[in-house]
Structure 1
Amino acid sequence: MLKFLCKIGLLVLALAVGAVWLVVLRLKDVPAPLLVAYGLLLAGSAAGLLWPGMLGPLSTRRRVLVFLGVPAGLSTLGLYLAVVYYIADLPVLLALAAATCLAWAAATFLRGRQAAGDRGAPQTRRAFLTAGAGLVLGAASGLSAGQVERHRREVLARSERQAAVRATGARRPILDDAVRVFPLHAGDTIVTYGQFYGGLDGWEGLNGYLRTLVDKAQIAVPVYAYLIDHPRHGLMLVDTGVNWEQAHDHDGYYNHNQMVSRLLTQRDEYRLTPEQDLRVRLARLGYDAKEITTVFLTHVHDDHAGGLRHLPQATVVLDRRDWEHGTIYPYSFDLVRNNLSFPAFGSGAFGPFPAAQDHFGDGSVILVPTSGHSPGHMCVLLRVDGGNVLFTGDTLYTLPHLAIDQVRQMTIGGADTARQLEAARRIQTLLASDADTVPLFAHDNTRYQSDLVASAFAQGAPGEAGLRRLRAHMETVLTPGWRLRPGHTPRFVAPTSGAPVGRVEFR
C-alpha cells in the first residue's frame, strides 16, 4: 500500500512539473495541438515507467523507456532549444552534460572493476573515454561562460552606438518661466486585447492571467514617459519606458534574476526603435539623460522602470508598498537602489483623495496613492500654466478607460480590483470638479494621445488654449456621466496576412 501511494505521489509530481512546462511552452507560442500530443507523450512516459503493465501484458520499463521515454526526452530537448534556449544557457547545458558523463564513467568503472578478467576491460576503457568526454565538456563550459559575457557586452555596446548616432539635437531656448511637459514615446508593448480592454469580459484575477496564456489576439500599445522641465525644480520624468536590452536582448535581460523569470515572459513583449530610446528622445529635445534629477515612478512594472538603467544619478520617488511588495524583476533598479525616496502621503487630503503628498511643499507636484493595479501605484498631478496635468500611470490605460463601467482593463481581482475601481472613480471626480485638469496616460492608443496630446505639448507648454482643446476632445468621447459616446467603443481587428499583431478600431 505504501509503495502504491508513493507511486501516486511521484505521478502527481511529474504531472505538475509537466503542466508548468506546458504553460511555459504555450507562453512561447507553441501551437496547442502540438502541446496536446506532447503532453500525452509525457503523461504516458511517467505512468508507464511507474506501472509498465498498464500499457499491455508484454510491456516492460525498458520498452516504455525506448518507445515513450526517449521520444519524450528528445521532444523536450527539441522544444527547449527551439523556443526557450538562450546563449546564457550554453555553459549550464555543457556543465550538466559534463556531470552526466562523469557520473556515467564512475558507474561504468565500478562495474568494470567488479567484473572478472576480460569482461571488465572493455567497461574500464569505456569509463575512461566517457570521463575524458566529461572533462572536455567541463572545460568547454568554463570557456563558453566568457563568450556569453562578451556577447552581452556587445549588445550593450550596440545600444550605446545606436543612441549616440541618433541623439543629435540642440536645447530649445526657453525664454519664460513656464513649466514644460514633453510626452516621450519610449517603446511599445505587446499585450492581448482582452488584457487591455477585456476587464468586463472575464479578464480578472487568476482567470485573466490564464487567458493571457491561451488567447493570442494581441495588439501593440505605446509606452509613454513624460519629461518635465520645471523652472524651479529642474528636469524630472514621470516613468521611464523600456530600454534597449529589454526589447533586443530580452532573454539576457531577464536572465539576470533567475531562469524562471525569463521562461515566464514573452521574448517579443517589447519593441523599441533606435529613435524611441529614452536617451535619443531626450537628446532630440536638447536634453541629456544625465541631467534628470527626479523620476516619479507611478509603479514598478518593467515597462515603466526599464529606463532607470540610464538614470543612475536620479532620485526615484515611488510608493514604498510597491517597492516592497510589487517588484518582480528588480534588475531595472540595480543602479538606483540607493536613490529611492518613499513619500509619506502626509500632506492631507487632495480633492477626492483622502491622502496626498505635496512633494516639493509648494503645490507644484502632488502625489496621490491609487493602489490596485499594483500594491503601491500612485498618480502624479503637476501644476502647469493654465491648469494641471494628471499622470494616471496604469490606473487607467486610455481615455476610453475613464468609462470604467463600459471599458476596463484586466484587473488583479478581489480587493485589488475594488481599490483600482475606487481610484478610477476618484480620478473621475477630480476631472469633473476641475475643468482645468487634463489626464495624460501611459498607454493611450487612441487619437487623444497621438493627435491631441502630441499637438498640445509639441512645444511643452500647452497653455490654457491647449488644455481647453484637450478637455473639448474628452467631451466628444465621454458623456458627463462617464459613458462612451457613439463611435468610441473599442473593437479588436484580427491581423491581416503577414501582420504579427492585430489592431483596435473604435466604433
Structure 2
Amino acid sequence: MLKTLSKIGLLVSALAVGTVWLVVLRLKDVPVPLLAAYGLLLTGLVVGLLWPSVLGRRATRRRVLAFLGVPVGLGTLGLYLAVVYYVTDLPVLLALAAAGCLAWAAASVLRGRRAAAGRGGRQSRRAFLAGGAGLTLAVLSGLSVDRVDRQRREVLARGEQERQAAVRAAGARRRIADDIVRVFPIHTGDTIVTYGQFYGGLDGWEGVNGYLRTLVDKTQIAVPVYAYLIDHPRHGLMLVDTGVNWEQAHDHDGYYDHNHMVSRLLTQRDEYQMTPGQDLRVHLARLGYDAKEITTVFLTHVHDDHAGGLRYLPQATVVLDRRDWDHGVLYPYSFDLVKSNLSFPAFGSGAFGAFPDSQDHFGDGSLILLPTPGHSPGHMCVLLHLDTGSVLFVGDTLYTLPHLAVEQVRQTTLGGADTIHQIEAARRIQNLLASDPGTVPLFAHDNTRYQFDLVTSAFANGVPGEAGLLELRTHMQTALTPDWRLQAGHTPRFVPPASGTGVGRVEFR
C-alpha cells in the first residue's frame, strides 16, 4: 500500500512539472497539436516507468526508456533549443553534458570491476570513451564562456552604432528654452499582445480565465508603448513612464536572464519591437535633450513596458505608489539603478473632484497625482496643468480612447476587487473629463487615430495650445457620446493577417 501511494505521489509530481513545462512552451507559441503529442509521450513515459505492465505484458522499464524515453528526451531537447535556448545557456549545457559523460564513465568502471573478464574489457573501453568525451565537453564549456560574452558584447555594440546613426539622422531639433510647459509623446516601440487581452475584457478575458486564454488564443496585434516628456519651466525635465528599453526588444532573453531563468521562461522573446529611432535616448537627443537631465519620473505603475527605460535614468527620482512597489514588481532588474531614488506619495492633499485622494506633488497645483488602483495594486494617473488647459496621463487604467466607453470596450482585468477598483477608476476619469472641457487624456497604448494623428500633431512642438486641445476634445465627442457610449465608426474589430499567421490589426467600425 505504501509503495502504491509513493508511486501515485511521484506521478502527481511528475505530471505537475510536465504541465508547467507545457504551459511554458505554449507561452513560447509552440503549436497546440505538437504540444498535445508531446504531452501524451510525456505521460506515457511517466506511467510506463512507474507501472510498466500498463503498456503491455512484455513491457519493462528498459523498453519504456528505449521506446518512449529516447523520443521524449530528444523532443525535450529540440523544443528547448527551438523556443527557450539563449546563447548564454551554451556553457551550462556543455557542462551538463560533460557531467553526464563523466558519470557514465564512472558507472562503467564500477560495472567493469564486477563483470567477467570479457565484459570487463568492454566496460573499460566504454569508460575510456565516455571519460574522454566528458573531458572534451568540459574544456569546450570553459572555452565557450568567453565566446558567449564576446557575442553579447557584439550585439550591444551594433545596437549602439544604430542608435548613434539614428541620433545623427536629419530632422533633429534644438531645445526651446522659454517659460512654456511642453509635453512630447515618445513612442518607444510596440508590444505584441493578444487582441482579447487588449479589447476582450467584456468577453470573458478576466482574472485567471483571461490569463489562460492568452496561452491558447494567439490572435495577436501590435500596440504602441508611449512615454511622455515634460519640460517644465519651474520643475525641470520629467517623464511620465519610461517605455521599454533597447535590450528588452533586441536582447530580450539576455535582459530577462538577469532575473534568472524563470523570468526568461515566462516572457515572450518577441513581445517588444523597436526601431533604433524609437529608443528613449534617441528620442530625447533628437528633441534637444539628454537623458541625464531628467530629474523626475512619474511611474503610473511598475509593469515592465512602463519601467524598462529606468535603466537609462539612474539619476532620476522615481515617484510611484508604494503599493505597486511592495506588491506589483515582477521584474526588479529594471529598477536596480534607481532603488535608492524612490519617492512614495502620501496622497494627503485631499479629494480632487471625483477622486477621494490626491497628491499635489509640487505644492503649487501644477501636477496632481491621482490613485487609480486595479490594473496594478498602486496604479496612478498624472494630471498636468498647461498654460492653456490640462492633460491627464491615464497609464493603463484605460488603454485607448474607445476604452472610455468602459461598458462596451474593456481590456482584460484581474478579476474580483481589482476589476471593481479599475472600473471605479475609469468612472472617476470620465467624471474628471466631463467636468473640465479643457482637459484631454493621453494614453500609453492608444492604437487609434486619436493618438497616431491628433495627439502626434497637437504635441509636435510640445505645446498644443487652445486650438490643439480643442481639436482633441472635438474628436472625443465624435468617438463618444456624453454618456460615454461609442459613436458609429469607433467600435474595434480584429482583422486577421493576410497570410493567416502572425500579427493582425484592428479596424474601427
Check whether the contact 1:385–1:464 (CA below 8 A) recurs between aligned residues. no
Number of residue pairs aligned between Structure 1 and Structure 2: 507
Check whether the contact 1:300–1:327 (CA below 8 A) recurs between aligned residues. yes
Distance 1:280 1:232 in 2: 25
Give the secondary-structure state (helix, strand or coil) at the position aligned to 1:502: strand
Q: Say whether residues 1:378 and 2:400 are aligned partners.
A: no
**Alpha-carbon offset, residue 98 of structure 1:** 1.4
Equivalent in 392, 396, 399 of residue 398 of structure 2? 396
Equivalent in 487, 497, 501 of residue 495 of structure 1? 497
**Alpha-carbon offset, residue 133 of structure 1:** 2.1
Distance 1:201 1:485 in 2: 20
Equivalent in 467, 474, 480 of residue 478 of structure 1? 480
Letter in 2 for 1:463: G
Deviations 1:194-224 (Å, cap 9, x if unpaired)?
0000000000001000100100100000000
Q: Say whether residues 1:48 and 2:48 are aligned partners.
A: yes
1:84 aligns with 84
Equivalent in 200, 203, 209 of residue 202 of structure 2? 200
Give the secondary-structure state (helix, strand or coil) at the position aligned to 1:298: coil
Give the TM-score, by structure 1 length. 0.97
Equivalent in 299, 320, 331 of residue 301 of structure 2? 299
Matches within 5 A, 1:63-142: 63-142=63-142
Distance 1:134 1:151 in 2: 25
1:273 aligns with 275
Matches within 5 A, 1:397-436: 397-436=399-438
Deviations 1:325-382 (Å, cap 9, x if unpaired)?
1111111112222221111111221111111111111111111111111111111111
Distance 1:195 1:3 in 2: 46
* More displaced stretch, 69-78 vs 205-214: 69-78
Letter in 1 for 2:222: A
Q: Which runs of 5+ in 1 are unaligned?
A: none
Give the secondary-structure state (helix, strand or coil) at the position aligned to 2:370: strand
Q: Percent identity?
A: 79
Letter in 2 for 1:52: P
Give the TM-score, by structure 2 length. 0.97
**Alpha-carbon offset, residue 61 of structure 1:** 1.3
Deviations 1:459-489 (Å, cap 9, x if unpaired)?
1111122111111111111111111111111
Check whether the contact 1:155–1:245 (CA below 8 A) recurs between aligned residues. no
**Alpha-carbon offset, residue 253 of structure 1:** 1.0
Q: Say whether residues 1:191 and 2:193 are aligned partners.
A: yes
Distance 1:287 1:182 in 2: 11
**Alpha-carbon offset, residue 147 of structure 1:** 2.0
* Aligned-residue CA RMSD (Å): 1.5
Distance 2:57 2:497 in 1: 52
Distance 2:215 2:167 in 1: 38
Matches within 5 A, 1:13-52: 13-52=13-52
Letter in 2 for 1:359: H
Equivalent in 360, 363, 366 of residue 364 of structure 1? 366
**Alpha-carbon offset, residue 394 of structure 1:** 0.3
Matches within 5 A, 1:444-483: 444-483=446-485
Distance 1:383 1:389 in 2: 7
1:320 aligns with 322
Distance 1:333 1:153 in 2: 22
Distance 2:68 2:468 in 1: 68
1:309 aligns with 311
Structure 1 pair 175–60 and aligned structure 2 pair: CA distance change class (3 A): closer
Equivalent in 231, 241, 245 of residue 243 of structure 1? 245
2:61 aligns with 61
**Alpha-carbon offset, residue 176 of structure 1:** 3.6
Distance 2:174 2:351 in 1: 38
Distance 2:109 2:175 in 1: 79
Structure 1 pair 89–501 and aligned structure 2 pair: CA distance change class (3 A): same
Distance 1:494 1:375 in 2: 34
**Alpha-carbon offset, residue 26 of structure 1:** 1.4
Distance 2:127 2:502 in 1: 51
Distance 1:190 1:211 in 2: 15
**Alpha-carbon offset, residue 63 of structure 1:** 1.3
**Alpha-carbon offset, residue 37 of structure 1:** 1.1
Distance 1:143 1:463 in 2: 61
Check whether the contact 2:175–2:288 (CA below 8 A) recurs between aligned residues. no
Q: Which runs of 5+ in 2 are unaligned?
A: none
Distance 1:84 1:175 in 2: 49
Give the secondary-structure state (helix, strand or coil) at the position aligned to 2:221: strand
Letter in 2 for 1:27: L
1:221 aligns with 223
Check whether the contact 2:192–2:223 (CA below 8 A) recurs between aligned residues. yes
Distance 2:134 2:174 in 1: 63
Distance 2:247 2:120 in 1: 55
**Alpha-carbon offset, residue 118 of structure 1:** 4.9
Check whether the contact 2:175–2:287 (CA below 8 A) recurs between aligned residues. no
1:233 aligns with 235
Structure 1 pair 80–170 and aligned structure 2 pair: CA distance change class (3 A): closer
Give the secondary-structure state (helix, strand or coil) at the position aligned to 1:140: helix
* More displaced stretch, 460-469 vs 153-162: 153-162
Letter in 1 for 2:60: T
Give the secondary-structure state (helix, strand or coil) at the position aligned to 2:21: helix
Deviations 1:56-101 (Å, cap 9, x if unpaired)?
1111111111111111111111111112111111111111111112
Check whether the contact 1:240–1:305 (CA below 8 A) recurs between aligned residues. yes
2:254 aligns with 252
Check whether the contact 1:171–1:287 (CA below 8 A) recurs between aligned residues. no
Distance 2:173 2:497 in 1: 41
* More displaced stretch, 114-123 vs 427-436: 114-123
